[in-house]
Amino acid sequence: MVKVVWTEPALRDLDDIGEYIAKDSERYAREVVRSLFEITLLIKYQPKSGRLVPEFKRNDLRELINGNYRIVYRVVDIYRIDILTVHHSARQLKLHRISRRKK
């Protein structure tokens, strides 16, 4: 089993998503954030289950898709994965946004 580490920027992304959705529905905001968090449990047991991020030609960057969101993570080694960002799929994902994301 791999340790999944949520970086501070990724946790801020979850907070921002929750706050934005809560303007219309607090209940739905909680459901979306919970769902985004829970889907990452899959990679604890199957670290390479996410697809390679198509914008980048890097084997260490992968993503899980959940609804309208892309959860981008880095496979650091066989023991650790860092969740880098939770990104709305309608927005363009840029490498500088990912490469600066550290714990």
Reference 103, options 73, 76, 81, 82; nearest CA is: 82
Arithmetic mean of pLDDT, 82-98: 80
- 39-66 confidence digits (pLDDT tens): 999 999 999 899 999 888 889 999 999 9
CATH number at 67 reads: 3.30.2310.20
Domain that holds residue 67: 3-99
Q: Is residue 13 a contact partner of residue 27, using CB atoms and an 8 Å limit? A: no
What contacts 97, CB < 8 A, 6 or more positions away? 85, 87
Q: Count of domains in the chain? A: 1
99 vs 77, more confident: 77
